[in-house]
Amino acid sequence: MQQSIGDRLRAVRISLNLSQRALARAGGVANATISQIEAGVLNPTVSMLKRILDAVPISLSEFFADEFQPREQIFFSATELAEIGDGGVSYRQVGRHLAGRAIQLLHECYQPGATTGRHALVHQGEECGIILEGQLEVTVGNDVRELRTGDAYYFRSTEPHRFRNTGRGVCRLVTACTPPTF
């Protein structure tokens, strides 16, 4: 292996789309520990490195292999959902590596008044969702509907569409789109 442990850990962390803080939290070590390992200031013991990698999860042999390939993750705790939104809209995605995947599953949260923007979204594929809590105005082409808890939608994403929380409370929903578009 040509890379140092710190360089390799950084490469693994970045390939898994994790921040230093997220990796430290998952591995049960201080934030500074990950930073110091990656900078080459701290050479971790085997047990410390194993504890960090077990949280990802990656075995020591996978970590030191010449061709690192992240193991396919099957189960995800709530803290492992990847946040890919910003502003008043949260998109928490199931899975980090969706290249070559057919489905993108999101837990979305719109703060009161939050919207996907002034301009409609258009992309290939299909998407659907079900409102878990609150209300959401969904516009697809010229059709506009106010959806409430338990209501759902399904449409071709090639139609211009946008979303807006018109309620006074948070709107939570679960959505899926194919192929992954974020």
| SS3 state of residue 74 | coil
pLDDT, tens only, 110-120: 999 999 988 99
pLDDT digits (tens, 9 = 90+) for 65-122: 766 666 677 888 888 887 777 778 999 989 866 767 889 999 999 999 999 988 999 9
CATH 1.10.260.40 in the chain: give the residue spans: 5-64
89 token code pair = 């809209």
Instruction: Name the segment(s) of the chain with CATH classification 2.60.120.10.
Output: 78-178
CATH fold of the domain at 78-178? Jelly Rolls (2.60.120)
Side chain identity, residue 63 = F
Structure tokens belonging to residue 180: 């992954």
Angle between helices 5-15 and 31-39 (to 10 degrees): 120
Which residue is it, tokens 């290939």?
A: 124
From CA 44, how far away is CA 15, in angstroms rounded?
Answer: 20
Among the residue ranges 1-5, 100-104, 118-122, 129-133, the one predicted with the least confidence is 1-5
Helix, strand, coil proportions of the chain in percent (round to 5)?
A: 25, 30, 45
- The verdict on domain 5-64 having CATH code 3.30.1330.10 is no
Predicted TM-score (pTM) above 0.85: no
